[in-house]
Structure 1
């Protein structure tokens, strides 16, 4: 399950993707459109800014804008930034591997084998689904 923070991050990015290249959105607009608490959204946008997904501009035409094309922002990339590894078991994580304390042998662990298939399928969908795809619901990869 993804965190509320990750859902908010994705929803904020989707709002920005809808605005068009070079266009900005004020934090209040994003907050209202996506029903995200403004203070929480500020923290999320700062994290997305540090990671190079968005930029902020001051002034009359200020606000937030996407730095990358929506076709280049993968759901998996955003989820890993916000929530960390996409793995239901620590022994399945690529970037934060940890042996399960109660597991005697990973190679023969029946639970691990099932969740490995789930993890691979989940990663495949998330790593090939872009923000742009989410704006075209009928074209989402399955």
Structure 2
């Protein structure tokens, strides 16, 4: 399940991506909050995380605000999830970035939980890593068509 923080981060990226697509420059935090339907106070911390992660930039002054610095197709949603919430693996022994052996595991090679959740997680990860901000900004009918095509393979 997506955390509220991740949900707001993705909404902010969509708003900034749409502004970029319209040829706009930057948006004040109040505008991002209003367009994304997110509380401004909560959004301030999220935008700092996104800026520190290299997804958005900010400028001060009269025309200041936040803006997307990467192309939407270059922003994998899986990366955003990790930036905002940390590791996304269901078990620590499956994590790419925060691997650690499970405390109660005698042998990873024969662990049934690791095998089953590893297979499920691999499929989930494949989908999550291929989903980009551009996909989320696309027309809903295109996303539905892509999903239907993927299930008819």
Instruction: Verify: 1:138 aligned to 2:138, yes or no.
Output: no
Q: Are 1:7 and 2:7 matched, yes or no?
A: yes
Structure 1: give runs of 5+ residues left out of the alignment. Answer: none
Q: TM-score, normalised by structure 1?
A: 0.91
| Deviation for aligned residue 1:125 | 1.2
Q: Does the residue aligned with 1:41 lie in a helix, a strand or coil?
A: helix
1:42 corresponding residue in structure 2: 44
4+ aligned runs moved over 6 Å, structure 1: none
TM-score (normalised: structure 2): 0.85
* Residues 1:32 and 2:34 are matched in the alignment: yes
Q: Specify which structure has the higher proportion of helix.
A: 2
RMSD of the alignment, in Å?
1.6
- State the alpha-carbon separation in 2 of the partners of residues 54 and 14 from structure 1: 11
- 1:103-142 aligned at under 5 Å gives the runs 103-136=105-138, 137-140=140-143, 142=147
The aligned runs of 1:30-109 (5 Å cut-off) are 30-109=32-111
**2:150 maps to what in 1?**
none
Give the conservation status (yes or no) of the 8 Å contact 1:13–1:66: yes
